[in-house]
Amino acid sequence: MAVYILNAILAVACTWLAWRLFDLRERLNGRQMPDFAYIEGVSRIIDTAEAYDVTHAAELSRVAEAVAVRLGVDEKGLVSLRMASLLHDCGMLNISRDIIKKAGTLDTEQAFLLRMHPIIGELAIRNAVPPFEDVPSLIRWHHEKFDGSGYPDRLSGEEIPLAARILGLADAVVAMRAARPYRPALSEERIRTEIGRQSGLQFDPAVVRAFLEGGTR
């Protein structure tokens, strides 16, 4: 009996040591946690280009992360989500400001160009990061909608990775919280109602539930 207990203790100890070793190696390689301060700085330039008067991307990142935690997203997933949140609209920097700031309705060609921004953003980031990072894909799909009516690929349901579904909802929430030239900022109650109305249409019902379960901020 004592031998079995000793073996069990040894197995647990070996597993713990191995885990520590891998964890330490990842930290030494600097891949555990990127320095988000720099990325937040860049995200503010993107916010400015989009004419947001608040830190849109940083707030989006906070909303997205809160929802993701409630949905049980792991640490690695949270890091990707935070990166993608901060950089989600980087493709907008390549879109003409006349289009971004146009007050009226966009014509077909302008709307198509605007809908290129997730792809432009994905390409720029994909060419800069190591292969097999999922942040570029999350940037690509942050405008996809759960019912398949989004863009650029019109993915639907679980075809859209969970992090991109969260990103889409958080983007809408933060956009509604901000005042725009054509409307004031929406109240939290109104935002929750609007998000609830789009459950299963624009947004994943599970993500909507996780959002509504959280506090108002």
Partner 1 sequence: MIRFQPSWILESLPPDAAKSLFIPLAPHPASLLWFKRLGIRMYVNDPVESRAMLLRTMLADGERFSEQNRRRFNRVIKKSLDLQMNPFRNWENKPFSSSQLDYLFYWREAAFEIPEPAQRDIFWSAVAGVMAHWMAMAAAGASPVYPPDELLACMLRRREEQLFETAEKVYALHLPIDELGEEVEAEVFVVPLQFQGRKPFETDQDVMYHAWFRGDPDLHAALGEIEAARKGWVFDWKTGCDVATMLAKSGKAAYAVFIWSGADLPPRWHEENVAARLREAFSPRFPESVLRVKAADASHDDYDFLLTMASPGHPIPADHRSYSPDNMG
Alpha carbons 108 and 145: distance in angstroms, whole number: 20
Residue with smaller CB distance to partner 1, 53 or 159? 159
H helix runs in 90-134, sequence order: 97-100, 108-114, 117-126
Do 120 and 70 form a contact (C-beta atoms < 8 A)?
no
The minimum distance between CB 166 and partner 1, in angstroms, equals 12
Shortest distance in whole angstroms from residue 154 CB to partner 1: 4
Tell me the HSE value of 178 on the side-chain side, using a 13 A CA sphere: 19
Looking at the Cβ atoms of 58 and 138, the one nearer to partner 1 is 138
CB of 60 to partner 1, least distance (A): 19
Least Å distance between CB 21 and partner 1? 19
Nearer residue to partner 1 within complex by CB, 133 or 188: 133
Return the closest-CA partner of residue 44 out of 35, 57, 61. 57
Q: Which residues bind partner 1 (CB under 8 A)?
A: 74, 76-77, 80, 108, 112, 119, 123, 126-127, 131-134, 136-137, 140, 146-149, 152-159, 161-163, 196-197, 199-201, 204-206, 208-209
Judged by beta carbon, residue 39 or residue 178, the one nearer partner 1 is 39
**Minimum CB separation from partner 1 for residue 93, in Å?**
18
Q: By C-alpha distance, which of 77, 89, 88 is closest to 163?
A: 77
CA separation, residue 107 to residues 23, 96, 103, 130, 151 (Å): 52, 14, 12, 37, 17
Q: Given the complex with partner 1, which of 16 and 112 has the nearer CB atom?
A: 112
CB of 10 to partner 1, least distance (A): 30
**Chain center to CA of 146:** 15
Rounded distance, CA 64 to CA 85, Å? 8
Instruction: Report angle CA 21, 128, 122 to the nearest 5 degrees.
Output: 110
The nearer residue to partner 1, 147 or 188, going by C-beta atoms, is 147
